[in-house]
Amino acid sequence: MRDWHQEQRWCYSCVLACMAIVERSRGIDPPRSEDDDPGGLVPVHRIADLPDAVLVRDDEITALAFRLRIGKTLVVVRVSGPPWVATIQGAFPGLRSRHGHLCAPGAYGGPFHDVVLVDVILGEDGEAEGFQVLDPWFPNNGQPLELALDLFESCYAGPAYACGR
């Protein structure tokens, strides 16, 4: 999983980096180089350009966990920046990005950011307790990040796209 990670080159290119992570999980070199400045925010619906990407219409976290549990699937998800930053700073205080802070920590709202769920963390009872996440804002070192379900849920904004690997 760590080999799949792609640190975003531009502060607004998380969608392209997430697409590169999905392609790498498939053993494919990403066709679009992140060295090319996309010239601004790339809309999240571009994830649908990937072969077999499926919009997860159910916004419940349990649907995302199910997608990961059923097998060779990654889920690209949108998170709300302020609570995401607060969560990352609390859970991983040493994690730093060359882009600085995504935004100030705070309540739900923009800016929004895209990350890739690569696995579900199961408890002894077989129920989802959290996710392993690749976050392109940060370098490869220390990834995947492991986040408890309640922490992730407080940041989740949707949409989510399930992509085969």
Both tokens assigned to 92: 């991983």
Residue bearing tokens 């790339």? 42
Task: Give ∠ CA 59-72-84 in degrees, rounded to 5.
Answer: 40
> For the chain, what are the domain ranges?
2-164
What confidence tens digit (pLDDT) does each residue in 28-85 have? 887 655 556 666 667 777 888 888 888 887 667 777 888 888 778 899 999 999 999 9
End-to-end CA distance of the chain: 11
Q: In sequence order, what E strands does 40-85 have?
A: 54-56, 73-80
What is this structure's pTM?
A: 0.91
What confidence tens digit (pLDDT) does each residue in 99-157 have? 999 999 999 888 999 999 999 999 999 888 999 999 999 999 889 999 999 999 999 99
**Residue 124, Cβ neighbours under 10 Å: how many?**
6
Q: How far is CA 147 from the centre of its chain?
A: 12
Backbone angles phi, psi at 158, to 5 degrees: 70, 160
Contact 133, 91 (CB under 8 A): no
> Domain 2-164, what architecture?
Alpha-Beta Complex (3.90)
User: Residue 63 class from Cβ within 10 Å (0-12 exposed, 13-18 middle, 19+ buried)?
Assistant: middle
Bond preceding residue 82 cis, omega within 30 of 0: no
